[in-house]
Amino acid sequence: MTTFRELHNANTGFVMPNAWDAGSAVLLTEAGFPAIATTSAGIAFSLGKGDHTLPDGAPAVSREQMFERIQQITEASGVPVSGDLEDGYGAQPEAVADTIRLAREAGLAGGNIEDYDGRSLYDESLSVERIKAAREAAGPDFVLTARTDGQLLASPTTLADSIHRANLYREAGADCLYVPGVNDLDAIATLVKEIDGPVNVVMGLGSSTLTTHDLLTAGVQRISLGGSIARAALAFIRSAAQELQTEGTITFAANQIPQSELNVLFGRHATPGESAQA
C-alpha cells in the first residue's frame, strides 16, 4: 500500500473524501480511494452538534468525543486516514502538540491544524509556533497539514495574505498546505504556483462547478471534500422524512443498499478481535 507521505510526493495528485463514522469509512475505502480523511463537521452533525463557527452557547464536540470517533474510523479503514484536528484543541503550542500525539496514537497517518479559533485567525507569530510544535510532536512519518482560514472569514483576507501564511507554515514544518474557501480555478492555480509545497483544495464549500479533473490538471496535489458527503447524507434523510410525512410513500428506499450486501461489506472490515453477534 502506498504510504500517505508518498501520495503527497507523487507526480499526480489524489482525491481524499471525508468519513464521519466507521460505516462511511468502509464505503469510501471500498470505492478505491488511496486515502480518506475525517470530517469534524460530519462527526459533529452525527452527534447532534454544530461545527466550526458556533452560535454563542452552542455545544461543541470535545476532543475526547472527536478522538473516540476518529479511532473507530482508523480501525475500520484499510487505507491511510488524515484527521480533521481543527485548531488543535487549544491556542497554545503545547495543546497542539498534545493533540498531534493523540492523533498518532489513534492511528492517523496525518492531520490538519487550523489557524482559526472559531472567531478570528490566531496571531501570525503564534500560528507559526503552533505548527512548529505540531511538527516536533508529529515525528517523521505523520503528514502534517497547515490550514489557514482567512478566505472563510466574513471579511476575507487577501489571497496574498493566505499564501504568505501558508509559506510561513511550510517553513515551520508543514508537509501540506490548505487554504479552504477558494473556488475560482485561476485563484487555485495561483495557490499551486506560489505556495512552496503540496496544496490541498476542498470541494463542496460554496458554489462551484469545478471537477476533480480540473483541480488535478491545475496541479493540486490533494483534493478533500470536508463535510460535503455528510451534509448530502443528512439532506437525503430530511428529504426522506418529508416524503414519508407528506406523501406517505417511501420512494427513497428504492436505491438502498441491500442488508445482505452491507453485512458482507462490513464483515470484511470488522475490527480484529471483534466477535460475531447473533
The three-state DSSP-derived secondary structure of 235-265 is: HHHHHHHHHHHHCCCCHHHHHCCCHHHHHHH
C-alpha cell at 171: 517553513
* Domain presence at residue 130: yes
Mean pLDDT of the chain: 94
**What total of structural domains would you count in the chain?**
1
pLDDT at residue 277 in the model = 47
| Max Cα-Cα span within the chain | 59
Minimal CA–CA distance to 64: which of 102, 96, 26, 31?
Answer: 102
Q: pTM score, two decimals?
A: 0.93
* Domain presence at residue 239: no
* Domain presence at residue 220: yes
Tens of pLDDT, residue by residue over 99-119, are 999 999 999 999 999 999 988
Say yes or no to pLDDT of 268 above 90. Answer: no
pLDDT at residue 271 in the model = 65
User: CA 272 to CA 259: how far, in whole Å?
Assistant: 22
With beta carbons less than 8 A apart as the criterion, state whether 51 and 86 touch: no
Tens of pLDDT, residue by residue over 146-193, are 999 999 999 999 999 999 999 999 999 999 999 999 999 999 999 999
Average pLDDT (72-87) is 97
* Whole-number Cα distances in Å, 1 to 4, 7, 79, 85, 272: 9, 10, 8, 24, 19
pLDDT at residue 207 in the model = 66
User: CA 138 to CA 140: how far, in whole Å?
Assistant: 7
Domain at 217, CATH number: 3.20.20.60
**238 vs 273: which has the higher pLDDT:** 238
pLDDT at residue 270 in the model = 72
* Domain presence at residue 36: yes
* Domain presence at residue 34: yes
State the alpha helices, DSSP H only, in the chain: 4-9, 22-30, 40-46, 63-76, 93-105, 124-138, 159-171, 185-194, 212-217, 228-246, 259-268
* Domain presence at residue 273: no
Question: How many percent of the chain have pLDDT more than 90?
Answer: 88
* Domain presence at residue 25: yes
pLDDT at residue 276 in the model = 46
* Domain presence at residue 50: yes
C-alpha cell at 98: 498534545
**Beta-bridge partners for 241:** none
Range of the domain at 109: 4-226
